[in-house]
Chains A and B, each alone.
Chain A
């Protein structure tokens, strides 16, 4: 058995086997988040796609790649979203360099 089997994506409802009331609450919230609102379905799919890469979830990357295509986005747009997620991740690492600066400065003359 390998990790991250593609077919496991369709087994997600099995998570509701134990404590189903918690899973049902999650599902209701999740579905409400998907609905068209102040943001369109396409915009939400691109956000989901970017976040999926930031959290490095292969299931989410698969699902939201499809959702982006079915929202009318193309690879140029999806790649820009990917770079946004990656840039923020990179920036988040870099800004922590100040923690190092602070730490070094604290013990340096």
Chain B
């Protein structure tokens, strides 16, 4: 498929109605159903040391929603009982949850592969300076957002001073063996567009990041994931304030790629919110669009058989995950357009 430039837009209705995504799937003879659940993604709270302009969680230092120890124990119980191959911990800044390290330790003791969505700068909060060693000790896979390899773009999205703190944090992770040649400790970065446009091809921008971060700052990492900004919460507010909402939604719909549907993260992932409620993904979580009503609604009631081929709840925001090369928590879902 040739990537259509905006100049060549066909006449496309902007998808606003919640069922527009399902209509698009139907028009391509597709149905969105989950396969086996491979990843339990747990959002342990909305508290964050940053307040990024694109955040679909609306996370910030002012948020008080945080997973309790009791709910964390329910998550650990589910890991023990159902042996999910991967636990993906997100937030907010998940490290700010007092039970974060307990969750990681217990999951690793069970042999679960643990991914932490680590924002880098939280490493400089009180009591967090030994995070690189904690991650190394538990062989956690670290996934960190760095929207660009230049200060101006990064600080525009994530806040003044974030870029240089992030570089310092990356150097500390490199120093303990993360993202360096010959090490098994994995450090992946996440690119989000700094504005109302789609990500570039993942392989191309990864090569730029590797070259520029190494030559400018001596930083290395394993892979770069490109993730499309979702028209949810703070990024949606930005789209509306800047007059970009209609244009951005048009762009997402226009770039619909049927080949991306098979690799969507919701097909192999179940998302848990800070109260223990279940969702098809973190984006649905922020829209309070729970799993299908016929399914168990909380982690305490999880049943892998019922979730294995469940229908996935969708909305217009789902066009964000099927645009272009597709988008997931693991980056692009197809290799080429």
Contacts and interface: CB of A to CB of B under 8 A. Distances in A.
Interface of A: 9-10, 12-13, 27, 30-32, 34-35, 40-42, 45, 48, 59-60, 62-64, 66-67, 69-72, 74
Given A10-B250, A70-B197, A40 B204 contact: yes
B148 A12 contact: no
Given A9-B7, A34-B3, 12 more contacts: A10-B11, A31-B8, A35-B2, A41-B3, A63-B5, A64-B7, A66-B5, A67-B6, A69-B200, A70-B199, A71-B200, A74-B153
- Shortest 3 CB-CB distances between A and B: which pairs? A72-B200, A63-B7, A72-B205
A70 B200 contact: yes
A12 B7 CA distance: 7
Interface residues of B, number: 24
In terms of DSSP, what is the predominant structure of the interface of chain B? Answer: loop
B157 to A, nearest CB: 13
A42 B204 contact: yes
B7 A60 contact: yes
Interface of B: 2-11, 148, 150, 153, 193, 195, 197-201, 204-205, 208, 250
7 contacts: A9-B7, A13-B10, A41-B3, A67-B6, A71-B204, A72-B205, A74-B150
B189 to A, nearest CB: 14
A85 B197 CA distance: 24
Contact of A70 (B8, B153, B198): B198
Most chain A CB inside 10 Å of its own CB: which residue of B8, B195, B208, B250 = B8
Contacts of B148: 74
B326 to A, nearest CB: 14
A62 B193 CA distance: 17
B121 to A, nearest CB: 22
Contacts of B195: 69
A13 B205 contact: no
Given A10-B11, A74-B150, A74-B153, A41 B201 contact: yes
B10 to A, nearest CB: 6
A62 to B, nearest CB: 7
A71 B193 CA distance: 11
B159 to A, nearest CB: 19
Contact of A72 (B3, B7, B201): B201
Nearest to B250: A10
Contacts of A31: 2, 4, 8
